[in-house]
Amino acid sequence: MATLPTYFSDYLKNIRMTDSQVQECKTGHETLRKRLEEDENLGPIIVDTFLQGSYKRNTAIRPAGEKGKSDVDVIVVTTLDRATETPDAALERFKPFLKKWYYGKYRKQGRSWGIELSYVDLDLVVTSAPSEAAKSYYKNFAALDVMANECDDDSWKTEPLWIPDRDANQWEKTHPIAQILKTREKNHATNGHYINVVKAIKWWRKALHPKPKYPKSYPLEHLIWTVCPYSIDSVAEGVVSAFERIRDDYRWCVESGGKPYLPDHGVPEHDVFARVSAEDFKGFYALACDAAEKARSAYDEEDKETSAEKWRELFGEKFPAPPKKKKSDETGLDGYTPRTAPSIIGGGRYA
């Protein structure tokens, strides 16, 4: 079998966010958070702000297409009382702030405010902390590692935040920290391969197979978390295993006309696939089955150049092509242009 670590390293380099894109995300979210904390009207009700989403979990890939932009989710923990504040009223509190700083660039969404800048998209997610203890923990949320590993009281782990669902006109639970911690845990257990498996499959989905529309974004990532084994030794093995488990574990769902139920981290009563239709999952499942066959063929191929060609068929032109055969001037025998230097697949950053 061919794991092709150098090829996969180059592939991941080609689909990761560029340094400039990372800096644009940093500029966008830091400016927003500073403005929020210094706002005379909102400052008194803000407990803390922190990041969530693929940018925070280090599972983000670069935008597909020349005009694509990266996106960052900013969680705002507030003292708002969900017992007396309606979801719409909670979101409306932030409208004057947005009008002041982001005039003509913001829009109200079902559960957040979207801010469209020329260089990055921001999601401003308003939440309410459930208890004074939780507020205290989030107030000291300067670094996730401190909060996760050094707190004597673990009660915060069982206390999700509450997010205003304007469409449903009710507050719903959300636990972004649990999502972050579960990602870190699995990535550590797989020697840093897990987040790269996520990125590899995300690009396959986003750039090569954008239809059906769902599952995408976090639901897709959560599905990969569910099917990717802990025992993988390479990105290649993780990709093969993930696709084959989707094919094998969810065949019954498709055959019965249904879809999986995926409990969210920290809020198990929340189905991550709630908005994914059975029809969309059926279409995605067919793509995953085809990908499983191609990935297995590439993985089992002993000839490295042939294996690389097969992986490239699966992942597209971002996966490096093998060196072209050339005639040796001296012997007349076929040879290969050698790769100039090896690469190392990094575990990535956790900001």
pLDDT-based confidence at residue 327 (cuts at 50, 70, 90)? low
Of 71, 121, 264, 280, catalytic: 71
More confident residue, 187 or 146: 187
Distance CA 16, CA 195 (A): 11
Q: What is the pLDDT of residue 326?
A: 62
Determine whether 113 is exposed, middle or buried from the number of CB atoms within 10 Å of its CB (0-12, 13-18, 19+).
buried
DSSP label at residue 346 = -
Residue range 92-120: average pLDDT?
96
Could you tell me the residue ranges of all domains in the chain?
5-336
Residue-by-residue DSSP string for 104-150: TSEEE-SSSEEEE-SSEEEEEEEEE-SSHHHHHHHHTTT-HHHHHHH
Q: What is the pLDDT of residue 176?
A: 87
pLDDT-based confidence at residue 332 (cuts at 50, 70, 90)? very low
Of 48, 73, 264, 280, catalytic: 73
Q: What is the pLDDT of residue 351?
A: 38
**Locate tokens 């059926």: which residue?**
282
Q: What is the pLDDT of residue 157?
A: 59
pLDDT at 27 over 90: yes
pLDDT at 38 over 90: yes
Q: What is the pLDDT of residue 67?
A: 62
Which residues, other chains included, contact 59 with Cβ-Cβ below 8 Å and sequence gap of 6+? Answer: 183, 195, 198, 199, 202, 221
First to last CA, the chain: 35
Of 48, 121, 123, 264, catalytic: 123
More confident residue, 180 or 239: 239
Residue range 277-281: average pLDDT?
97
**Locate tokens 């994914």: which residue?**
276
Question: What CATH superfamily classification does 5-336 receive?
Answer: Beta Polymerase, domain 2 (3.30.460.10)
Residues written for the chain: 351
264 carries an active-site annotation? no
123 carries an active-site annotation? yes
pLDDT at 149 over 70: no
71 carries an active-site annotation? yes
pLDDT at 312 over 50: yes
